[in-house]
Amino acid sequence: MTPLQHRIHAVVARIPRGRVASYGLVAWLAGAPRCARQVGRALRELPEDAPLPWHRVVNARGELSLVGDGADEQRRRLLREGVRFDARGRIDLARWGWDGRAPTRARR
């Protein structure tokens, strides 16, 4: 695993339950601005049983980037944590987004 992948995993591990972060924010917090695609790659390469909350990472529009079964699983996990989707299937990042500071409870 590369040093960047380690940093990405460390950032993703900090995303609080009931909150989400964009791929770009995770890259920036990992010290690699403009490397959102590397975040996606690092999460895609996780083993299935990895304890990392990969499902809390979404795209900059608040949409799930996965398709098929992966998207269904991500959506289920987020709904279980209380994250809500609008009629277009998007997450309101102003409400559910995490800014990288200390964990806080989701705003309701």
Look up the CATH number of the domain holding residue 41: 1.10.10.10
- Overall pTM surpassing 0.85 (yes/no): yes
pLDDT in tens, 61-95: 999 999 999 999 999 999 999 999 999 999 999 99
Query: How many structural domains comprise the chain?
Result: 1
User: Distance from CA of residue 75 to its chain's centroid?
Assistant: 11
Residue 27 lies in a domain: yes
Answer for the pair 40, 85: CB distance below 8 angstroms, yes or no.
Answer: no
Residue 51 lies in a domain: yes
Q: CA-CA distance, 27 to 36, in Å (whole number)? A: 5
Q: Is the pLDDT of residue 108 over 50?
A: no
Residue 101 lies in a domain: no
Question: Which tokens go with 89?
Answer: 């299937």
Q: Where are the beta strands (DSSP E) in 1-104?
A: 21-22, 57-58
Answer for the pair 16, 52: CB distance below 8 angstroms, yes or no.
Answer: no
Residue 103 lies in a domain: no
43: containing domain: 3-96
Residue 16 lies in a domain: yes
